[in-house]
Structure 1
Amino acid sequence: MVLTDPQAGNLVAIALGSNLGDSRTILMAAIDQLSQDPKIKLQATSHWYQTAAVGPPQPDYLNGCVSVLTTYSPKVLLEKLLAIEVQFGRVRQERWGPRTLDLDVLLFGQSVIQTPTLTVPHPYLHERAFVLAPLAEICPGWIHPVLKQTIAELTKAVDYTGVHRLAN
């Protein structure tokens, strides 16, 4: 798996989630928005998963993942993702609260990034079935740069209760 190409950029895994509004429409529109950016090339899209919410009581989520090639830096990509969230009505009121759209950078090539606004690999990636299930569909062989295990290997250590793959 080639994670960095000087011409095409870095391979990046992004998680998508929504539990407010018409989640499937919102998530598909967010992917469309990403794919229209000339510096982002969509590589793969997972199935959607209905998942029980983590955090305060709220509706179930619809979750999925995409992989993209991008020439953006991690910081600029994060800014682009946050702007897309806002376009779709994202309001940050409480940690792990309900949202119209959540876009998270999970992996950025083999980079390990720790800034006040971005941590890559995502700090909870290896603990969350709702992230690992769709991620394993599109990039099972990607090696977690800190844990040194493939995504497929990481899936074996999580509980999939409350995570249901939907037909696309």
Structure 2
Amino acid sequence: MITAFIGVGSNVDREKHIRAACQELSLIASNLKMSPVYACESFGFSGNDFYNMVVRLDTSLNLVEFSAALKEIEVKWGRDIDAAKFQNRTIDLDILLFGNEISQKKPLVPREDIFKYSFVTQPLYDLAPDLVIPNDERTLCQILAAIPAPVALRRIDFQF
């Protein structure tokens, strides 16, 4: 089994789609642990606020198989995977970490969003504060502090 960390986001019918994403992940993985859910403004475009969180899970799939399974979930729940990067999302599932694997080809892991966006790093930190990112010597706290323009986050009282 491989432990993976998945970024989960939605800005369309957010509560429904965050719950659906977690339910779908439970069908392809085990030992799910969820971070708190955060709300933040849409990034890179004008749209509804996003809900973002991170899920820690164990999977027997390899990286390519797991990535394909996540894409299937996104499409099932109405995501247009060929659409522009910054746009409204029913469900957005991103592999942040996949064990200690480092991949320079798609899917890229560790995902660079960990080092760029507080809406990714904060819930990851909440879930696993002592986590060591492969190929990086900094703590998640140091990575959070180094994000150049952190997005304002509001922790949501979310019931799964």
CA distance in 1, matches of 2:91, 2:151: 23
Within 5 Å, give how 1:118-133 maps onto structure 2. 118-133=107-122
Kindly state the Cα deviation for residue 61 of structure 1 after the two structures are TM-superposed: 0.5
Return the match for 1:103 from 80, 93, 111.
93
- CA shift digits 1:111-133 (9 cap, x unpaired): 11121x31000022111100011
Which residue of structure 1 aligns with residue 43 of structure 2?
A: 54
Kindly state the Cα deviation for residue 144 of structure 1 after the two structures are TM-superposed: 1.1
Unaligned runs of 5+ in 1: 1-8
Paired letter, 1:53: S
Which residue of structure 2 aligns with residue 135 of structure 1?
A: 124
> Which range moves more in the overlay, 22-31 or 154-163?
154-163
Kindly state the Cα deviation for residue 160 of structure 1 after the two structures are TM-superposed: 4.2
Q: Secondary structure at the match of 2:9?
A: strand
1:113 maps to 2:103: yes
Q: Give the direction of change, closer, same or farther, for the CA distance of 1:112–1:81 in structure 2 (3 Å limit).
A: same
Give TM-score, length-normalised by structure 1.
0.87
On the 8 A contact 1:46/1:65 being kept in 2, the answer is yes
Higher helix content, 1 or 2? 2
Paired letter, 1:35: S
Unaligned runs of 5+ in 2: none
CA distance in 2, matches of 1:34, 1:99: 17
Paired letter, 1:99: R
Kindly state the Cα deviation for residue 24 of structure 1 after the two structures are TM-superposed: 1.2
The share of aligned pairs that are identical, in percent, is: 28
Which residue of structure 1 aligns with residue 6 of structure 2?
A: 14
Give TM-score, length-normalised by structure 2.
0.91
- Runs (4 or more) in structure 1 with deviation over 6 Å come to none
On the 8 A contact 1:141/1:152 being kept in 2, the answer is no
1:28 maps to 2:19: yes
CA distance in 1, matches of 2:152, 2:126: 18
Q: Secondary structure at the match of 1:97?
A: coil
Kindly state the Cα deviation for residue 98 of structure 1 after the two structures are TM-superposed: 1.2
Which residue of structure 2 aligns with residue 150 of structure 1?
A: 139
Q: Secondary structure at the match of 2:24?
A: helix
On the 8 A contact 2:79/2:90 being kept in 1, the answer is yes
On the 8 A contact 1:50/1:165 being kept in 2, the answer is yes
CA distance in 2, matches of 1:71, 1:89: 26
